[in-house]
Chain A
Amino acid sequence: MTSYLISGIIFFNIAVGVYYGLLNSVYTLLLSIALFTVIRHGSRAKYTEDRLWLYSNETPPVSILIPACNEEDVILRTVASALVQEYPSFEVIVINDGSEDKTLQLLIETYNLQKVDQLYRDILKTEPIKGFYYNKEHPNFLVVDKEKGGKADALNAGINISHYPYFCSVDADSILDTSALLKIMVQVVESKVPVIACGGDVRVLNGMDHPEVQGNAPELPESSLAMFQIVEYLRSFLFGRIGWNALGGSVILSGAFSLFLKDAVVRAGGYDRKQVSEDLEIVLKLHRLYAHEKRPYKIDYALDAICWTEVPEKIGQLGRQRRRWQVGLLQACWKHRGMIFNPKYKTVGLFSLPYFLFLESTGAVIELLGFVVMPLAYYFGLLSVHYFILFLLLALVYGTFLSVATILLEEMTIKRYPSWKHLARLLLYGSIEHFGYRQINAWWRLQGIFQFFFMPYSWEYVHKSGKTHSDHESHKTLGSEDVKQ
């Protein structure tokens, strides 16, 4: 028995070494690519004129779809930011997914909406529609009230109703920069290969007072939990997404802000209601569809198309979100397991999916198992204390290096945190996130894995407070005033 245990510990130690070696190699590769891309983007920005598209009839019209369930605290500011987009032609469709609060009522009152009739063609099957609300003074704004069916179902309903060839999914708690839609579309129209989906850069909204309004200085939140997430989001978007995108292996486009070619999504069967991470699953479906049809395509990422989203500031909510992400990742990977290591899907099949499944999602298990195995290894005399301390130190130093490098990338691109205080705080949180925050994250992810294997799961809306910096009334005022202008 003891010999088995010792063999197990030795095997685990070797596995950990290989795992960290592989993971950090991928991180280094992604970071190098991101650095190169960001420098290139910065130099290109000096001579490209995206705004030419703003005044052109050639810019394709877009439907902005905002699924909302019990979002009375945030819906008005989201709609307001969507309606003031600097874009030639677009419509905003809010899909009220069976809200039990005042979401629908607030929209009706603020925008003086009237109930109208419209025939509903359920090209993608959805829960029944209860009504349409419209005001001819806001001809590009429509609210759809439907029975509750989850975010995927709401998005499918939005797709059925939308009029334009492209649609953009925006979370009900997210605020778009005024030029976000234009920037994401420029990426699509200027690409030689047809872009069927494109993700935007999602930033943390907490602590800010209408960051989408020019001239408003962004602020950082007081909450440490939100600060950790800012560093996390920067790392995920500024080197993860950029790196995978450059390698042609984008599999994750944030549900908070992504653009899709409607025809492609409809042909792929729309969003899957059974999936917890419908945004990840739809991208995999699109990869499958186009690889099967052998048509050229690209799934892209626009690093300067910015959307601000609220992150949980309560530990319970954050834990729930992270468990959901983990379940979603495993669920989508399981559903599309045929893609893994399949050369037909090129970078996605051979690298991205295996990376997310075997390196990202198992990280939590390895990390937490380490807390059990290391004392055992010490007990059996299998652990060199010097070696262990050095290994641990390297892991911490490298993790900090990645976070700090990401903050440098932010400085080189959008630079949305202008004051010295912001920079110092970001660097501080980038350095200390490995002491506690990372471990608790690993614990939630482990719970997510357990949930995936042993417990039933379904999609759930996460309630957002809407208390970023300004209060509810000011969102309401901005919403109606801006639209009137």
Chain B
Amino acid sequence: MDIQIILLILVCLFSFSIGFIVLGTFLRRWIHKKQYTQIDHLKSLYQTWIDEVLGGNTQRISELQRVVGEDGFGREALEQIVCEKCRADDKAILSLIQEVGFIRLYEKKLISQRLSIPMRARAADRLGRMQSEESVDLLFQVLKEESDKTELANSIIKAMALIGSEKALESIITIFPLILKKEVITPKNGEMILLMFAPLYREHLVRVLHHFQHSGERLSVIVTLDALSRSVVTEDMVAVAMEMLESEDAEIRVRCLRLIANANLQRVPMTLHEIKLHLHDAQWFIRMQAVEVARRFFCEKSLGEMVLLLRDAHWQVRRAAAGAIVSLGDESLETIIGVIEGEDTYAKEAICEAIHLEGYVQQLVNHLTQSSLLFNSSARILFYMHSIGLSSSLKETALSHPDGEIRQNLHLLIHPQGGDND
């Protein structure tokens, strides 16, 4: 064919396409506008009907059932209203959803093999949003049989998490190791889902962790530990974590330590010797997490270890150790002096930064009175901090402190040559 004719055909084709797209874009917008207007109108109508039903007038139920039965804007409008109203503790609305046929409809869609994956995933999502506890078995069954369909499986798991019942949790746990291994859900997704159950089912999750540990499900253990350490940590959780601290897997150990460090308890069943082992672990992230545990539960007793960790090769460990030392306040004053008069620059910087971050600097400033027994130590530390540039708060305090003696002493500290304030 002549090249000119080909070009002409192409020009015509694209010109036609432009016209088609322009027309299509306007038409699409016009249709959508009409649809949304209609949905808004229906929403206000159905809102009244639902209020009537919830008020005791059951006559409207059959009309609502008809709306759900018909595939159209009416169903969409009604669905939007019930999803907005749906709450786990609102039995009346949950029973209305059941009665008007939404659950039946979406269960049917969920198991229908003729529908596309997105449509089935949407059905699962709606069952979750409508808190349909009676659909858990069906959701689980579909999940088990079609766990290779990532999109659908993810939607089902999230729906179960939205339902949030014990049965839903049990079902998820049964299949959890498999779907994690097959990468149907990402670990982060898994953690988020378990965490959604954590407020109500902590004890259950602890049992689950135990179970995963004994069945050697490493990834599930890691994910569960991560989720638990971000929830309210209880004694039971700490006990399991303690047991698992002997694991050879550093990833598990670090999560156990994080969980223990996050426990809001007075004490944990751990000895100083045990924590020391972790403070000397070969992995820096274990050492750092062990510092957090030591700071929380063995701070005074482990002071010597913390000083040693100020010389750690990793700044994250040094920073954590410095924070732990400084958190003891005046009790660690002599230790701090020992560090800043030593020769390790990294250790000195870490401790000075911690003094700053922990807010201990203000306490040191308050010791700058002749009557204070800690005057000399405090002055030495503050002078060193000033010499490495951590002094702007000292300058401010030197100007604004209510105690004249402290102001004077700070001024002498900052300007030993007798210079003026900057």
**Residue ranges of A at the interface with B (Cβ–Cβ < 8 Å):** 43-44, 46-49, 52-53, 56-60, 114-119, 121, 131, 189-192, 384, 386-387, 390-391, 393-394, 397-398, 400-401, 404-405, 407-408, 411, 420, 423, 427, 431
Contacts and interface: CB of A to CB of B under 8 A. Distances in A.
A115 B189 CA distance: 40
B295 to A, nearest CB: 18
B349 A119 contact: yes
A61 B42 CA distance: 42
A58 B118 contact: no
A404 B22 contact: yes
B186 A191 contact: yes
Contacts of A384: 4
Contacts of B124: 47
Contacts of A386: 4
A173 to B, nearest CB: 30
Contacts of A394: 7, 10-11, 14
B192 A47 contact: no
A464 B166 CA distance: 56
Contacts of B196: 52, 56
A119 B25 contact: no
Contacts of A115: 392
A189 B188 contact: yes
Contacts of B396: 114
A404 B18 contact: yes
A53 B357 CA distance: 30
B191 A47 contact: no
A394 B6 CA distance: 10
Contact of A397 (B14, B183, B353): B14
B17 interface: yes
A31 to B, nearest CB: 11
Contact of B230 (A49, A58, A398): A58
A133 to B, nearest CB: 10
B47 interface: no
A424 to B, nearest CB: 9
Interface in B3-36: 3-4, 7-8, 10-11, 14-15, 17-18, 21-22, 24-26, 28-29
Contact of A390 (B11, B14, B352): B11
Contacts of A116: 356, 392-393
A58 B25 contact: no
A400 B17 CA distance: 10
Contact of B28 (A192, A405, A411): A411
Contacts of A393: 7, 11
A391 B29 contact: no
Interface in B202-238: 226-227, 230-231
Contact of B14 (A52, A57, A114, A398): A398
Contacts of B15: 397
B4 A401 contact: no
A56 B155 CA distance: 17
Most B CB within 10 A of own CB, among A52, A58, A420:
A58
A384 B4 CA distance: 10
A117 B22 contact: no
B195 interface: yes
Contacts of A119: 349, 352-353, 390
B133 to A, nearest CB: 18
B18 A400 contact: yes
A43 B25 CA distance: 18
Contacts of B10: 394, 398
A391 B353 contact: no
Contacts of B356: 116-118
A60 B230 CA distance: 12
A53 B392 CA distance: 40
Nearest to B390: A117
B389 interface: yes
B14 A401 contact: yes
6 contacts: A47-B125, A58-B192, A118-B356, A393-B11, A397-B11, A397-B18
Nearest to B353: A119
A117 B392 contact: yes
Given A56-B195, A117-B356, A390-B11, A408 B24 contact: yes
Contacts of B8: 390
Given A57-B231, A391-B7, 19 more contacts: A47-B118, A47-B125, A47-B126, A48-B155, A52-B158, A52-B192, A56-B195, A57-B230, A58-B230, A59-B192, A116-B356, A390-B4, A394-B11, A397-B11, A397-B15, A401-B14, A407-B25, A411-B29, A423-B29
A407 B28 CA distance: 12
B315 interface: yes
B121 interface: yes
